[in-house]
Amino acid sequence: MNKYENIELKALFEISKVLTSSFNLEKNLFLALEIISKELEMRRGSIFIFDKKTEEISIVAAYGLTEEEISRGKYRLGEGIVGRVIETGQPMFIPDIEKEPQFLNKTGSRPNKKGISFLCVPIKIEEEILGVVSADRIYADEQVDVDDDLRVLSIIASLIGQFLKLWETYKIIEDENIILRAQLKDRYNFPNLIGQSPSFQAVLKTVMKVAGTDATVLLFGESGTGKELIAKTIHFQSKRAKGPFVAINCAAIPENLLEAELFGSEKGAFTGAIKRIGKFEQANGGTIFLDEIGELPFSLQPKLLRVLQDKAFEPLGSSKNIKVDVRIISATNKDLSEEIRKGSFREDLFWRLNVIPIYIPPLRERKEDIPPLVEYYLKSFCNIYKKSISIDNEALKVLLSYDWPGNVRELSNTIERLVVMSESDKIKVYELPDRVRGIIKVKSVFSEDLKLPTEIEELERIRIMDALPRFNYNIRKTAKLLGLTERQLNYRVRKYGIKIKKDLGLNDSDH
Ligand SMILES: Nc1ncnc2c1ncn2[C@@H]1O[C@H](COP(=O)(O)OP(=O)(O)O)[C@@H](O)[C@H]1O
Ligand SMILES: [Mg+2]
């Protein structure tokens, strides 16, 4: 892939991000046009919306035009290039606007029309024409290709189209939910989704908004960040809640069986095939969760694309066309743009899945969520195992400093194990698993403004406090483990005021 295409891909990603960045229509469209102008070297990008009732076409957003120029940009159906594109639904390219009598330059934004080309593509959703995207282009550089520009602009138009449709739905829901929202006061609480960090709250806000729509959602995030839990939450908050939630992991099923698993099969479609109903059919009336979508074999991608477009497919070995009413939520921990670049994931499929992207940050990037998660899991496992256990502050600090490569799943497993194993009513540092304690990252345990010598002392204190109980406060053994002499250890115990308390009965002492 050449450099130009990488720029395109980057621009497309940015546009898809800004389109869903807020619920402010004009602002998002303006930001998208800004990217078109800056990244793709197209000038004076404009988005026109066609009002079916009045049959008027007007600019909703424009980049590089003044307010006055914008207000002049009104067309009738069939009038000018813009009006023609809306009427015919076909993209148009004007190589030189000076030589084109149909080009009306109504906004008056081009006093000098020399050498300017004009690109105009329709914004279409299932044959309905919502408007057009247009841009000026000066082809000084012979390397760029008009077809490429039209192709990119068409993808952008389809993203904008999906966004416009969604926005309509949001508007309706927004009105319906106004009272409900006032009660929530910008705090999004779902009983099973824990997290108050700004980044997690932003995720919940989006979850809340998309739950009311049928929009296709793509969840990104490392393993264990809660993608499946969020998919379920969206389903159970949606009007499909009474319908089925069907999950399938595209990576867990061998390639040759996946097609039958997803779409069903007729008896004898392949050796050993029985007639069976696929996941899509099972999910009818509900939601299908396609986990690890990045692993979907290339050969199955067109079939999924068709389901997304037409909500229809044919089971393996059958020519029967099955229609389903299914909402699609997919998830990936892979960088799909990389897969697209490598050619293992279809770009058109990606844009169909990525209507609403939701990125769930790893736990190490939202450490504020660790204490409430620890609390939540302590409580729920204590309930299950009929115990009453809390956690010591030092131990909590260590949990905060750990990177949690397995994210919430690892944290939940760790707490469960601690609750099962713990014999006291307070979890101490030394009870934490080695991997959690082993990687004490000095910097993140302590506040930013601590000086190095203080940090070193703090680390020393934690290591000693952690090691002593493991040898039942035996100074000689602890010193040996830490690589200190007994004198050095005794000095530090006094220096840090560490209490030596031996468990009675546990007799490991050799003084
Ligand atoms: N914010 C959260 N609050 C409570 N539990 C969570 C949260 N995020 C994840 N979990 C729990 O962590 C575990 C892993 O979540 P999962 O949805 O399977 O992650 P992923 O699909 O991203 O690998 C599950 O047990 C889930 O219930
Ligand atoms: Mg998962």
Q: Which domain holds residue 7?
A: 3-176
Residue 297 lies in a domain: yes
Q: Is 229 in the pocket of ligand 1 (CB under 6 A)?
A: yes
pLDDT of res. 504: 42
Q: Which atom of ligand 1 is nearest to the CA of 231?
A: 17
User: pLDDT, tens digit, for every residue of 39-65?
Assistant: 887 888 899 999 888 888 888 888 888
| Position 186 pLDDT exceeds 50 | no
pLDDT of res. 181: 47
Q: Is 400 in the pocket of ligand 1 (CB under 6 A)?
A: no
pLDDT of res. 148: 82
Q: Is 478 in the pocket of ligand 1 (CB under 6 A)?
A: no
Residue 188 lies in a domain: no
pLDDT of res. 113: 66
Residue 453: pLDDT band by 50, 70, 90 thresholds? Answer: confident
Can you give the pTM of this predicted structure? 0.62
pLDDT of res. 486: 92
Together in a domain, 342 and 399: no
Output the CA–CA distances (angstroms, integers) from residue 204 to 79, 143, 238, 456, in the order listed.
45, 45, 14, 39
Q: Is 287 in the pocket of ligand 1 (CB under 6 A)?
A: no
pLDDT of res. 79: 81
| CA-wise closest residue to 311 among 300, 294, 325, 330 | 325
Q: Is 361 in the pocket of ligand 1 (CB under 6 A)?
A: no
Together in a domain, 309 and 335: yes
Together in a domain, 214 and 352: yes
Which ligand ends up closest to the CA of 219? 1
Three-class DSSP category at 45: strand
Task: Give the residue whose CA is nearest to atom 23 of ligand 1.
Answer: 224
Residue 11 lies in a domain: yes
pLDDT of res. 273: 67
Q: Is 251 in the pocket of ligand 1 (CB under 6 A)?
A: no
Contact 136, 109 (CB under 8 A): no
Together in a domain, 369 and 334: no
Query: Residue 95 sits in a domain of what CATH number?
Result: 3.30.450.40
Together in a domain, 352 and 290: yes
CA–CA dist 60, 326 (Å, integer)? 33
CA terminus-to-terminus distance, the chain? 73
Together in a domain, 503 and 401: no
Which of the two residues, 113 and 500, has the higher pLDDT score? 500
Residue 351 lies in a domain: yes
CA–CA dist 156, 160 (Å, integer)? 6
User: pLDDT, tens digit, for every residue of 162-183?
Assistant: 888 888 777 666 656 554 544 4
Residue 122 Cα to ligand 2 midpoint, Å, equals 38
| Position 324 pLDDT exceeds 50 | yes
Q: Is 224 in the pocket of ligand 1 (CB under 6 A)?
A: yes
| Position 401 pLDDT exceeds 90 | no
- Counting the structural domains of the chain, the total is 4
Q: Which atom of ligand 1 is nearest to the CA of 230?
A: 17
Residue 182 Cα to ligand 1 midpoint, Å, equals 28
User: pLDDT, tens digit, for every residue of 371-391?
Assistant: 999 999 999 999 999 999 999
| Position 3 pLDDT exceeds 80 | no
Q: Is 193 in the pocket of ligand 1 (CB under 6 A)?
A: yes
Sequence-separated (6 or more) residues with CB below 8 Å from residue 370: 363, 399, 400, 404, 411
Task: Give the residue whose CA is nearest to atom 15 of ligand 1.
Answer: 226
Residue 267 lies in a domain: yes
pLDDT of res. 178: 52
The alpha carbon of 420 is separated from its chain's Cα centroid by a whole number of angstroms, namely: 34
Render 145-157 in DSSP notation, one character per residue.
-HHHHHHHHHHHH
CA–CA dist 8, 10 (Å, integer)? 5
Together in a domain, 261 and 404: no
Output the CA–CA distances (angstroms, integers) from residue 367 to 372, 408, 414, in the order listed.
10, 11, 16
Query: Residue 454 sits in a domain of what CATH number?
Result: 1.10.10.60
Residue 397 Cα to ligand 1 midpoint, Å, equals 22
Together in a domain, 130 and 169: yes
| Position 397 pLDDT exceeds 70 | yes
Render 346-374 in DSSP notation, one character per residue.
-HHHHHHHTSEEEE---GGG-GGGHHHHH
Together in a domain, 30 and 162: yes
Q: Is 290 in the pocket of ligand 1 (CB under 6 A)?
A: no
Query: Residue 244 sits in a domain of what CATH number?
Result: 3.40.50.300
| Position 441 pLDDT exceeds 70 | no
CA–CA dist 316, 268 (Å, integer)? 10
User: pLDDT, tens digit, for every residue of 61-113?
Assistant: 888 888 888 888 787 777 888 899 999 999 998 888 888 777 777 777 776 66
* 460-461-465 Cα angle (round to 5): 120
Residue 229 Cα to ligand 2 midpoint, Å, equals 8
Residue 192 Cα to ligand 1 midpoint, Å, equals 9
pLDDT of res. 502: 59
Together in a domain, 290 and 344: yes
- Cβ burial of 74 (10 Å; 0-12, 13-18, 19+) is middle
- Cβ burial of 425 (10 Å; 0-12, 13-18, 19+) is exposed
Least confident of 23-32, 276-285, 318-327, 455-464: 455-464
Report the percentage of the chain scoring pLDDT > 70: 88
CA–CA dist 174, 354 (Å, integer)? 22
Which ligand ends up closest to the CA of 333? 1
Which of the two residues, 382 and 462, has the higher pLDDT score? 382
Task: Give the residue whose CA is nearest to atom 10 of ligand 1.
Answer: 226
Strands 312-313 and 322-323: antiparallel
| Mean pLDDT value of segment 293-315 | 93
Residue 187 Cα to ligand 1 midpoint, Å, equals 20
Residue 294 Cα to ligand 1 midpoint, Å, equals 20
Q: Which of 323, 342, 361 is the last residue of a domain?
A: 361
Q: Which atom of ligand 1 is nearest to the CA of 225?
A: 22
| Mean pLDDT value of segment 469-491 | 88
Residue 337 Cα to ligand 1 midpoint, Å, equals 25
pLDDT of res. 128: 87
Task: Give the residue whose CA is nearest to atom 9 of ligand 1.
Answer: 226
Together in a domain, 170 and 52: yes
With the most atoms of ligand 1 within 8 angstroms of its CB, the residue from 192, 360, 377, 408 to mutate is: 408
CA–CA dist 153, 36 (Å, integer)? 9
| Mean pLDDT value of segment 211-220 | 93
Task: Give the residue whose CA is nearest to atom 8 of ligand 1.
Answer: 226
Which ligand ends up closest to the CA of 408? 1
Least confident of 14-18, 68-72, 138-142: 138-142
Report the percentage of the chain scoring pLDDT > 90: 43
CA–CA dist 58, 167 (Å, integer)? 18
Q: Which of 341, 361, 381 is the last residue of a domain?
A: 361
Output the CA–CA distances (angstroms, integers) from residue 270 to 252, 289, 296, 316, in the order listed.
20, 26, 20, 9
Q: Is 225 in the pocket of ligand 1 (CB under 6 A)?
A: yes
pLDDT of res. 246: 95
Q: Which of 333, 361, 389 is the last residue of a domain?
A: 361
Strand ranges (DSSP E) for 95-235? Answer: 117-125, 128-137, 217-220
pLDDT of res. 109: 72
Residue 411 Cα to ligand 1 midpoint, Å, equals 10
CA–CA dist 309, 299 (Å, integer)? 17
Residue 487 Cα to ligand 1 midpoint, Å, equals 48
| Position 450 pLDDT exceeds 50 | yes
With the most atoms of ligand 1 within 8 angstroms of its CB, the residue from 363, 370, 409, 416 to mutate is: 409
Q: Which atom of ligand 1 is nearest to the CA of 360?
A: 22
| Position 434 pLDDT exceeds 90 | no
Least confident of 3-12, 174-183, 335-344, 429-438: 174-183
Residue 178 Cα to ligand 2 midpoint, Å, equals 33
CA–CA dist 121, 85 (Å, integer)? 7
Contact 137, 41 (CB under 8 A): yes
The rounded mean pLDDT for the chain is 84
Q: Is 412 in the pocket of ligand 1 (CB under 6 A)?
A: yes
| CA-wise closest residue to 167 among 359, 29, 347 | 29
Together in a domain, 354 and 380: no
Residue 223 Cα to ligand 2 midpoint, Å, equals 6
Residue 186 lies in a domain: no
